[in-house]
Amino acid sequence: QVVRTRGGEAAGSYFMPTQSDRCIAALRRWLSSHAPSGLPASSASGPHAGLGPLPPPIYSRDALFDHFTQHTSHCRHCQAAVSALADWRKRTYRVLAAALLLGVRFWLARLVGVACLGLLRLYVVVEKQFQVGEYKHWQNH
């Protein structure tokens, strides 16, 4: 809006050299073609009436990175994956119980038991990604 008040074009006032910014460029092109005078306020009339003010910013990192509320609880694919993960956990516990019973006699059953413990730890890590995900920009290579 600052560029617009000075008489310039907002789309030409920035330079984006990477492909990862093409979504932002597409959003700005869409905004300039569909809302050339900016986004309307809640008191506006016409097709854009009632949009209202922007929601308050989120400052809590827990709320910001809450994947379950923002996505998983609404996505049928993620819900199916969480359900399948629970089923695999049950199966792994059954195999672990069998391995514990047979592990007294057979060394292969002991190896299967150790593998089950590793799988159970992996399930916890994967399930945590459906709940909350921390974004660290320095790890985004």
Q: What is the pLDDT of residues 68-112, one digit of tens each?
A: 888 888 889 989 999 999 999 999 999 999 998 887 788 888 899
CA dist., res. 106 & res. 109, Å (int): 5
pLDDT confidence of residue 45: 55
| pLDDT at residue 20 tops 70 | no
| pLDDT at residue 54 tops 70 | no
Residue (of 96, 89, 88) closest to 116 by Cα position: 96
Rounded mean pLDDT, 56-70: 81
| pLDDT at residue 16 tops 80 | no
pLDDT confidence of residue 47: 54
Q: Greater confidence, 123 or 2? A: 123
CA dist., res. 141 & res. 137, Å (int): 8
pTM: 0.54
Helix (H) / strand (E) element for 3: namely: helix 2-5
